[in-house]
Chain A
């Protein structure tokens, strides 16, 4: 049952922020919504209900680190598409190791 609720709430909130990204212009402003806390809102909300606010706070601390990694990921995507002219799919998938590496490095430095 919890899994079904996660699917419905996660899908709905992420879709809502993606729609916000579609309707705004210019594109640089719409891009803000690509880094909206959509997954966090869904997931933290359910975590608070199931495990309590203190448990969710620990998740939020890790999330701050991953958000730094998201910044490097997005800049890498912008470089690959804007300067190297890679397709959006190649650039966004090739940059995922950047997110993983920065997240892991910061996690190892600050939280491990």
Chain B
């Protein structure tokens, strides 16, 4: 069994158009402002809900689908589901990231009133990253293990 390696591909940044960068910035700014305004108007309990609003995900998934579709069209394939399937895989990753996001929120909730905010936020971010990577690795290992068992026919 071979574990999937994570790779960094900086050339992918060149494929993103300027207006796509701008739309992400605007969406991010908008949801941060909205979360602040809701907290001001309705209190921190209601405002906090919008800290885990999937603001950027629709734009990211649409962008990913478009890039995958264009890649296939350049290869001469006009109709393909590849873009939607890639976006679905991206969404499965987001589901794992959201479990890690619960860890981030719990660390902030429990530790912010007692400890220095800078340390708490740093720890919470580290917890999010560690949980997200661990969950992803666990899922990959499970998928590989299942595939291996199917191939070898072992029970």
* A and B from one complex: yes
Residues of A in contact with B (beta carbons under 8 Å apart): 2-3, 6-15, 17-19, 21-48, 51, 53-71, 73-75, 77-79, 81-83, 85-89, 91-93, 96, 99, 103, 107, 111
Residues of A within 8 A of B85 (CB): 81-82
Residues of A within 8 A of B16 (CB): 22
A39 touches B28 (CB 8 A): yes
Beyond A31-B92, A40-B105, A64-B106, is A99–B33 a contact (Cβ under 8 Å)? no
Segment touching A, from B7-15, B70-78, B144-152: B7-15
Q: How far is the CA of A70 from the CA of B149 in the complex (A)?
A: 32
A40 touches B49 (CB 8 A): no
B32 touches A9 (CB 8 A): yes
Give the shortest distance, in Å, between A2 (CB) and chain B (any CB).
8
Binary contact readout B47-64 vs A (1 if CB under 8 angstroms, 0 otherwise): 111111111111111101
Q: How far is the CA of A9 from the CA of B83 in the complex (A)?
A: 31
Residues of B within 8 A of A33 (CB): 97
Q: How far is the CA of A25 from the CA of B12 in the complex (A)?
A: 10
> What does DSSP make chain A's interface, helix, strand, loop or mixed?
helix
Beyond A27-B89, A40-B51, A63-B105, is A18–B45 a contact (Cβ under 8 Å)? no
Beyond A34-B57, A67-B98, A82-B88, is A11–B32 a contact (Cβ under 8 Å)? yes
B121 touches A34 (CB 8 A): no
- With an 8 A cutoff between CB atoms, is B138 at the interface? no
Residues of A within 8 A of B113 (CB): 53-54, 57
> What does DSSP make chain B's interface, helix, strand, loop or mixed?
helix
Give the shortest distance, in Å, between B86 (CB) and chain A (any CB).
5
B121 touches A74 (CB 8 A): no
Residues of B within 8 A of A82 (CB): 84-85, 88-89, 91-92
Residues of B within 8 A of A34 (CB): 54, 56-57, 60-61, 90-91, 93-94, 97
B102 touches A64 (CB 8 A): yes
Give the shortest distance, in Å, between B61 (CB) and chain A (any CB).
4
B95 touches A71 (CB 8 A): yes
A18 touches B84 (CB 8 A): no
Q: List the B residue with the shortest CB-CB distance to A79.
A: B88
Residue from A14, A59, A78 in contact with B44 in the complex, judged by beta carbons closer than 8 Å: A59
Give the shortest distance, in Å, between B117 (CB) and chain A (any CB).
5
Residues of A within 8 A of B64 (CB): 27, 88
Give the shortest distance, in Å, between A69 (CB) and chain B (any CB).
7
Residues of B within 8 A of A18 (CB): 24, 28, 56, 59-60
Q: How far is the CA of A42 from the CA of B30 in the complex (A)?
A: 12
